[in-house]
């Protein structure tokens, strides 16, 4: 089984978000980058398939050279090979088309992406890849089991979950649940050493036009002071929620 994991390179969850160039670009200065958490769950599940089903695991990122440490980290966790498509990922459809081209040339059985990236929160790349490659798609996938002749998956729906039987090739939008939090792998010394020798292939992008353009970013207005209510006067909170906030 050949697996491709799509890795989005995102600011650490504690990062302060600032913008530069007239608020048209995210300011990367001093920001620590990580593997998108949804992708980390998917990558860990992929490594599990490698250990249990003898799968091969490639990771792919559409991004500039600055994302290579993130790809190296994925290699250190246990992926076999990394691919980077050398273009700044400003438009989800360009990302999806670039990855789809690579998939069409390289035949994967399973493509694992995340439900969404925690930076731009597009939530659209896996669906786009599925439509471009005509591969079955399960979004918000929270469980995935593959054996010789069956693929069983679960997907989160609003207020519950759905169990699905499907077939390979398959693409998922993954998230927490694919593996437990405790199973997430931290690269060890040996993994890091081995990662240095693994292949990191850099490819030129195809020629695609953007569908969206960012005009600018804005930060929310600072919030006003909290209104405190004494613990002995909870009825006052009810009154405020009813009359002032009109929330109950």
Q: Per rule CB under 6 A, is residue 89 in the interface with ligand AMP?
A: yes
Cα→Cα distances 51→7, 11, 12, 63, 78, Å: 20, 30, 29, 29, 10
CB atoms within 10 A of CB 116: 20
Strand partners, 110: 3, 170
Q: Per rule CB under 6 A, is residue 124 in the interface with ligand AMP?
A: yes
Closer of 55 and 95 to ligand AMP (Cβ): 95
Cα→Cα distances 6→61, 71, 230, Å: 6, 10, 50
Residues 176-215, mask of contacts with ligand AMP (x by CB under 6 A): ----------------------------------------
∠174-123-78 over CA atoms, to 5°?
35
Q: If we measure between CA atoms, which residue out of 173, 180, 177 comes closest to residue 116?
A: 173
Q: What is the dihedral of CA 130, 163, 43, 18, to 10 degrees?
A: 70
- Whole-number minimum distance, CB 47 to another protein, in Å? 19
- Whole-number minimum distance, CB 84 to another protein, in Å? 22
Q: Taking CB within 5 to 8 Å according to partner kind, which of another protein, ligand AMP, ligand FAD, none is near residue 63? A: ligand AMP
Closer of 13 and 182 to ligand FAD (Cβ): 13
Residues 21-60, mask of contacts with ligand AMP (x by CB under 6 A): ---------------x-xx--------------------x
Q: Per rule CB under 8 A, is residue 231 in the interface with another protein?
A: yes
Contact set with ligand AMP (CB under 6 A): 6-8, 36, 38-39, 60-63, 89, 92, 95, 113-114, 116-117, 120-126
């Amino acid at each position: 089984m050949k697996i491709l994991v799509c890795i989005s390179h995102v600011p650490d969850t504690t990062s302060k978000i600032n913008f530069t160039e007239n608020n048209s670009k995210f300011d990367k200065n001093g920001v620590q980058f990580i593997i998108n958490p949804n992708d980390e769950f998917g990558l860990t599940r992929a490594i599990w398939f490698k250990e249990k089903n003898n799968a091969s695991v490639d990771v792919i990122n559409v991004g500039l050279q600055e994302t290579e440490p993130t790809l190296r980290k994925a290699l250190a966790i246990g992926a076999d090979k990394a691919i980077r498509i050398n273009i700044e990922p400003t438009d989800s459809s360009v990302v999806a088309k670039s990855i789809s081209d690579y998939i069409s040339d390289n035949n994967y059985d399973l493509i694992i992406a995340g439900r969404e990236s925690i930076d731009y929160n597009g939530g659209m790349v896996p669906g786009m890849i599925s439509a471009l490659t005509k591969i079955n798609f399960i979004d918000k996938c929270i469980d995935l089991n593959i054996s010789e002749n069956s693929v069983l998956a679960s997907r989160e729906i609003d207020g519950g979950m759905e169990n699905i039987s499907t077939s390979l090739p398959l693409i998922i939008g993954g998230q927490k649940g694919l593996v437990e939090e405790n199973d997430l792998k931290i690269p060890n010394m040996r993994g890091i050493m081995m990662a240095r020798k693994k292949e990191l292939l850099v490819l030129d992008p195809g020629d695609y036009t953007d569908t969206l353009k960012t005009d600018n970013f804005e930060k929310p207005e600072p919030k006003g002071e909290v209104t405190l209510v004494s613990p002995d006067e909870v009825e006052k909170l009810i009154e405020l929620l009813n009359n002032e906030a009109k929330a109950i």
